[in-house]
Structure 1
Amino acid sequence: MNFTSFSVKPAIRVLFPEGKGELYYDISDDQDPELLMAAQRAELEFDCELPEDIELVWVGETVGVLPVGSGATPVSGSFHGMGAILEATYTKAGGQHYSTVLGQHEDLADASRIAEALNAQAIAVEALQAFANEIVTGAFEGGSFDGGDIQDVAAKYGLLRVEQRETACGESCACREYGFPSQCYRKTALLGAGAPSATEREVQEVWSLSGENGSWDYASLGELIRDHYGHDCGSAGDNSSVAILAVGSTVKRAIVCKADPASFLQDAGEVQEWMAEQACQSDAGEWADNYPEVNEDAKRALGQALEPLKAWARSYCQPHFFTVKDIATHEVTEADVNDALSAHG
């Protein structure tokens, strides 16, 4: 069994009278509002009678109403009425897809954090398996296990992330140098070292002489100084329109903000819309009404199938374009100049 995803759904828990069965009814955006309001008013309990003016309809395999059988009994506690269910999607040999309830929780936010942690583990296992398969099957031809090549393969599967540095980091990581700059490999959360959080990913400095749009060309103060120290740079301080970059000149520093390349891909809904458009334009398009017809299981499977594409985009299509935030003024010091020139050799 291979778990592919874990999701959390707001739900109403209902135990049918006289022990006839137990249901979890999914609360979604298109949920019948009258049904939801009536259920909330009823404050459903384990032994409740369903309100006379509503009816929960059994819909078989459709996600929304989930039977809790002997092999899928929630283990994370119990709740009455409103709450959340934690659902696992998995595949078995042969590629069959299944879903089952793993647990339940009274708090949706807490359940979502559990699902997020489980998904991270599932992605890690998948990435490690793919990495090992490429090494073992011989697809890693011409590579050197004592060089940077194996790190490149690991970076391909998100196990390491690559940083460009002006000098060797000197820390315990897998670095290699090709002159200048250095290429430094850092472990990600998939190897248990902790991937950079969203905040950490944003903290990438960029430097500019003027702070004007299109002028943020330098990844470090040292690069900017080496290019402009002692040269006419157009502006150096508040009182000079044309000057030479020198000790005491002011430059601008900011934080880089890059978009997630996965956001440029089609999402699951857009994929279905594209399929529908192409089907209508096909030779048999006049009979393509309501194509593709997919149930909730298929939608979840599509969402999971798109995850490797998102990972590919993040690995190979990082944008070179960006915006900046937190612009600040920095006055060039003698130490800045000395560090920049000495690092350049």
Structure 2
Amino acid sequence: MNRGIMSYLKLNRLTLLDGIAIILIVFYHSIQTFNTPDAIFWKSTIEIQVLGLVLFTFISGYKFVLNHINELEDKQFLKKYFAKRFIRLYKPYIGYSLLIFIPEYIAIYIATHYFKADFGGITNFWNSLNIQGLENLLVGTNFIAMHLWYLFSLLIITVICIIILYFFNIQTLFIFSLLMLLYNIISAGYYKTSIFLIDDRTMLYLPVFIFGMFLAYYKDNENTKKIFIAFSILFVIALIQIINHSQTSYQLTTCVYGLTFPCLMMLTSSILMKFEYINNILQFCGKYSFQIYLFHVPIIVPALQRSVVYVANLDFSIVPYVITILSIILSIYAYEICKKIRLNILFE
């Protein structure tokens, strides 16, 4: 494969998977204020946000190797890629926080002083308006847009992978990921605090990123499809176990989903692409997946939730699904407006 080029079919498949991932993540945030049986099932039993995040993470690792498979031992490339990737992830982390701060401040001020709202997110926001809060924001604890922890974690994951590739090789990276997976599984059973100076969630998603790299690196190997099939079966078995034992820890769920769910999606994506209507919707969502991830919270989804639950007093099972669709549409519109008035320079 030529430098930086993926086949049209492969690119479409990965874009479709990005679309699935972002829909799962937006849906998770959309069901937070609902206590219908299916909402509780999705957010508490299935941990649907983990499915979206592991899929995003896997695809990121897969794309990295697929695009640059012939450059992974080139130290000059790795240095340039590190700088490019740092800007690509840290700029939107800071830029979107700056963009959303004023509208979020106004919304929280109105909620606090006029509607007498008082819950964890509001209290944390007011308590973080100081130098300590700013310092925490710069190093990954974002009180303005808490969902951006994932961008910061993805940045740390990329740094770790590039350092190992720079000083060692990709085989060492694969061995390292096995050790990290083992650590994550053990810590899931004896979980208290991390022995690393890094967010535990980062360590959980690191093996998933490297697993994506691994399958992209050996994509032409005849055994790769067998891995997809075997791990897809394991996902179904694991899902049944998780449903039957709803107390499964977040750490263990992430470890299991990270290895199995992306494999199932890689297998089923070729089937989904045959259904034109479904394919077009998922491709569209995948095309805007990064922008949707940025914009859907902390204003759009919460505003829709409160409008529906507290104003319209609707709490039907179908409502979170409607909120998910509206949130995706409004996020894209919000991005396009920012792009039109050139505010996208803050995060792109």
Whether TM exceeds 0.5 here: the answer is no
TM-score by length of 1: 0.21
- Normalized per residue, the structure richer in helix is 2
For CA contacts below 8 A with separation 6 or more, give which structure has more relative contact order: 2
- Normalized per residue, the structure richer in strand is 1
Larger radius of gyration: 1
